Amino acid sequence: MKPIRTRFAPSPTGSLHVGGVRTALYCLLYARKHGGAFLLRIEDTDRVRSTEEATAGIVRDLGWLGLAWDEGPGVGGPVGPYLQSQRLSSYRALADRLLAEGKAYLAWETPAELEAERKRAEARKENYRYRRKEYSDAELKSFADEGRLPVVRLQAPGHAVTVSDVVLGDVTVEAEGLDDFVLVKADGFPTYHFAVVADDHAMGVTLVLRGQEHLMNTHKHMLLYEAFGWAPPAHGHLPLIFNPSGAKMSKREKAKAAREAARAAAGGRKGWGWLAELAGVVETDLTEFMEKKNDGVSTAEAIARALQVSLPMIEVADFRRAGVLPEALLNAMALLGWGPGDDREILSLDEMVEAFDLSRVQRTPARFDGEKLLWINATYLKSLPDQVLLQHLAVWIEASAPNPIARYTEDERRLLLAMYRPRARTFADILTLGAFLFLRPETWDRKQVDRHLGRDGGWERLARARQALTEVDRWDVATLHAVFDRLVDQSGEPMGKWAQPVRVAISGDGVSPEIAETLALLGREETLARLAAIRPASGGVDAEGVE
């Protein structure tokens, strides 16, 4: 038996999609389960769309998720390099081999000529399939004079191809469904089909797992394995991921949501100049986006920021900015199309490895459930060790900048987590639940003021509490607890009679966690300022007890 080797091979043409996360996770789980190796390979041969920034983003996202690769960028390994753009000489040698053996040939058609052929086929109501053409010497000379550059195409052998898929079973494509596809583009760079087969063979990959959208590509890849005389790895195609409405979960959802928000905000305004200025986007670019000529994620996000609307979470960065924990995201993605075979829904990475079995990967599309993700995330917020949560919190603060929690010390962040992790579903919920911590109230809920201050000596208790807090030298949880305990003991009144007026004053609505913890986090200066600022809605006395 060959050692098990799996790989995740993203193209760096944008941010990492959560569907890619599931693919990478399943590849890692299978490799770990069978004592094998998990590889990361960057397929960056698309010179127009691939960027170093996207490559760095993919590496960062996988690292944040804890999907550690055994070989690949930053790690190295015996079959590198692991960026396809650094493997071009190997592709050229393989293409020359197929040309020499008569299994591939040069094709000279221009994109315009190929498009014309496609349209003629459509007019005949036929599926277009490229077939080899013979060129006269005069045509070849004309091509050379024009400066045309040929592509290299594989000569299809003319028989059906069956993929024995470990998830879907046998899938066959008849000979007429396979054309002579391009191996090397006119610019000398390999196509995806050529490079992926060459690299999977060179890197000893034994199992290829990828989404079902790649299934028809795999039949082409089998022709290449046949042409080279190589034994193909096993292949498995994972179910698609749909959003709650039943549409494929894709980055286009962001563009759709941004366009809808823009049209709703436009009112009767003509053109998109107003929005371009508001969003900081070039007007022509924004107009093309609104006319669906492109689905640029950066444009969609600029519109969302300008209009203060939320976009669907599709990419890993979206979930990180939203305050989702990496453990929760991995857990949720693992359950999209697979289950451990029992009732468990919370699984650590080690538990996933132990339970993972390809036979339990479903064939039908999975449906992403945002509410379930939030439930999983809340569970991890309650259970992860403080130090782990603090590390994740620091990453989220940076990802969601500007973030008011950034000014807190580590001890203050620890206290903040202790106060809100029982109720928050994400880190972002802390900003909502504890909004008063970051913004001093300018108004106070009248019902709360009347209930806790306007009757039974509430204003007087608030004044006494403020005086007692003014005399505190050491502003920490233990000392503040002691202050309120003394007030309770001296008055014989319950804690609520003292804590609630203070809560109303500092929060505006009388809702906060334990009073001592809240004041400790708020700080001495800010607490005293808020206690001095509150005033009755009408009549009565102020916090100083003055008419």
Can you name the residues that pair with 240 across neighbouring β-strands?
Answer: none
DSSP 366: E
Beta strands 207-211 and 182-184 are: unpaired
Residues 6+ apart with CB under 8 A from 539: none
Cα separation, 547 vs 544, in Å, equals: 9
Which residues are the active-site residues?
Answer: 251
- The separation between CA 208 and the C-alpha centre of its own chain, rounded to angstroms, equals 22
- Of the candidates 334, 279, 351, the residue with the CA atom closest to the CA atom of residue 289: 279
356-382: b or e for each residue (b if 16 or more CB lie within 10 Å)? bebeebeeeebbbeeeebbebbbbbbe
Cα separation, 243 vs 239, in Å, equals: 13
Cα separation, 331 vs 25, in Å, equals: 10
As a residue count, the chain comes to: 547
R_g of the chain computed on alpha carbons? 31
Amino acid sitting at position 21: V
185, 86 contact by CB (below 8 A): no
Cα separation, 331 vs 327, in Å, equals: 6
Tokens of 538: 């009408």
DSSP 271: S
Tokens of 353: 């490895």
The C-alpha angle 311, 316, 317, rounded to 5 degrees, equals 65
